[in-house]
Amino acid sequence: MRRLSLKARKPFGTHFQATKGVNEIRYGRPMPVDFTQPVWDADRFPGRHVAPVGAQAGAQELGASVYELDPGVVGAPLHVHHANEELLLVLAGTLSLRGPDGTQLLPAGAVVAFPRGQAGAHSLVNRSDAPVRYLVVSTTNRPDVVEYPDTGATLVVLAEQRLAFPQGAAAAQKPVITEAMRAASDRDA
């Protein structure tokens, strides 16, 4: 599959001259992000390429990733974040967005915010015949509960792990808590 080629542009900043170096004003480590050739992680899903530019730059409370989707590939199934907000910027190509208001095509340059909760439900798919590239920036609040309405699955995102619960995996709350109380009682005896 061919990779998307973005035209290289001159870097920003000819009008802004800092009087102090980045390290002197205590910013994170500077990292130029080359949106034409980002540093991709190994693919976890075929045709879905991810470059975690926020983590690469040292961000601690914001996530930022560049995605490139081959034609016909799902970038994100329909999902709802309960603790995090996301912002999408389409860099190149045309992306299909499904949300509470239906499905729409987003051209390069489109920016969409996805608030926490049901109002921010969204799915991203490349339904075109060419690659599409986009940037997603998000808060990284933990824990986060992510619902997948199409499948009924739930994902719980903790600081160091992700726990997936398929539809129907929910247990009755009272027996689980009763067992936890019993275990705590036995441990403290």
Tell me the C-alpha to C-alpha distance, in Å, between residue 40 and each of 3, 19, 43: 12, 33, 8
Residue 50: pLDDT above 80? yes
For residue 19, what pLDDT band results from cuts at 50, 70 and 90? very low
Residues 110-153 pLDDT 10s: 999 999 999 999 999 999 999 999 999 999 999 999 999 999 99
Q: Which domains does the chain have, with CATH numbers?
A: 22-142 (2.60.120.10)
Taking only the tens place, the pLDDT of each residue in 60-106 is 899 999 999 999 999 999 999 999 999 999 999 999 999 999 999 99
